[in-house]
Structure 1
Amino acid sequence: MNRYCLVLLSCLPLAAMAYPIEVEKRLDGVKVDASASDPAPDLGAITLSNYGQVPAACKVTLRNGPEAPRVRRLTVEPGQRASATVRFHREVLRLRVVVECAGK
């Protein structure tokens, strides 16, 4: 019985692994930082922070393998944050995010 418990406990770290996230930023004169996260196996999230003096109009494209890319449009005011989440139809293997921002 102790051996079974030991095997079960040794497998737990494997279940907690996250999927890889690639973020590409295309910033046109704005100071925006992007941080992506993986809240669930079929969910992707990104948070944009505007450190500049002008509002930023951003287009965020999230891709998960063969599924159609999902596009979210955000406006981030100076000194503020904005978040976007996307639920995919299948489990995410690798999340690719393209952030395109320009000043308003």
Structure 2
Amino acid sequence: MRKFCCVLLALLPASAFAYSIDVTKKIDGVSIDYRASDVDGDISSIQLNNYGSNDAVCTVTFSNGPEAPRTRKVTVPAGKSTNTTVKFNRAIIKMRIALACTPK
């Protein structure tokens, strides 16, 4: 039992690098769904799925706080999905993502 508790305590810091992700979206006239995830301590990712019949143009702004926001512009074809990632210079504590999509 003592060994089990030591192993459990040793694994505790491994789960501590996850950070919270807040996504605000402004989607006009397209059927876009998203899934945001943390890849590493300084890398964040968002997967965009287009369920509509029109292509979509999306602007994704990643904000980490003290660093300048990073903006990515992607086109998501109808019925397809795409991934967008960003790497920051510092460790991410809280990620804020602003997603804006319009039909192409």
User: Do the structures match in fold with TM over 0.5?
Assistant: yes
Task: State the alpha-carbon separation in 1 of the partners of residues 67 and 101 from structure 2.
Answer: 24
Give SS of 1:15's match: helix
5 Å matches for 1:53-92? 53-92=53-92
Give SS of 1:48's match: strand
One-letter code of the match for 1:91?
A: A
Aligned position for 2:13:
14
Task: State the alpha-carbon separation in 1 of the partners of residues 4 and 90 from structure 2.
Answer: 31
Give SS of 2:9's match: helix
Task: State the alpha-carbon separation in 2 of the partners of residues 44 and 38 from structure 1.
Answer: 5
Aligned position for 1:25:
25
Q: How far does the alpha carbon of each residue in 1:51-98 deviate from its partner, in whole angstroms, 9 at most, with x for none?
A: 001000000000001110000000000110011110000000000001
- Number of residue equivalences: 103
What's the offset of the Cα at 1:12?
1.4
Task: State the alpha-carbon separation in 2 of the partners of residues 6 and 27 from structure 1.
Answer: 48
Give SS of 2:8's match: helix
What's the offset of the Cα at 1:5?
7.7
What's the offset of the Cα at 1:9?
3.1
What's the offset of the Cα at 1:10?
1.2
What's the offset of the Cα at 1:34?
1.1
Task: State the alpha-carbon separation in 2 of the partners of residues 65 and 5 from structure 1.
Answer: 39
One-letter code of the match for 2:67?
A: E
Long gaps (5+) in structure 2: none
Give SS of 2:66's match: coil
